Every structure is written in structure tokens, then in C-alpha cells.
Amino acid sequence: MRSAEEDILKILRKSPISLTIEEVAAKAKLTRQTTSKYLFYLEGKGAVKRRNVGAAKLYYLEGKGR
């Protein structure tokens, strides 16, 4: 069974653009709260990057989705 972390990384890897927490959550079939927790953890590990655009937090992998 795949972990939520792996699913989130796969989603970001496949996306040509940055994604909001809500977009990642919908694609991963997770709640917004769970997705936010994993994205925060992955950002801390340096596995994902985040940029703020207004109130939105956009997540991407280095070299993608900027």
C-alpha cells in the first residue's frame, strides 16, 4: 500500500504547475487538513517547495511548477 507522502509526491511530480493544498487533496483523495500536514512535513524535509501568492500556498517540486 502506498503512503500519503508517496501519493502527494507523485501528484506534484506529474503536475506541470504549482498546486494548492485543495488541489493536491482532491487528487490524493485526502482531507485538506491531512494534506496540509503532509505538505508541511515534506517541505520541512526539503522534498517540496512552497510559494505564497496572495492567501494561496502553492506547492511544487524543485525545477517544476514555478
Pairwise CA distance, residues 46 & 44, whole Å = 5
Measured between alpha carbons, how far is 50 from 62 in angstroms, rounded to an integer? 10
d(CA 17, CA 14): 9
The residues of the chain scoring below 70 in pLDDT are: 1, 64-66
- Cα–chain center distance at 30: 12
- Model pLDDT for residues 8-23, shown as the tens digit of each residue: 999 999 999 999 999 9
CATH number of 4-60: 1.10.10.10
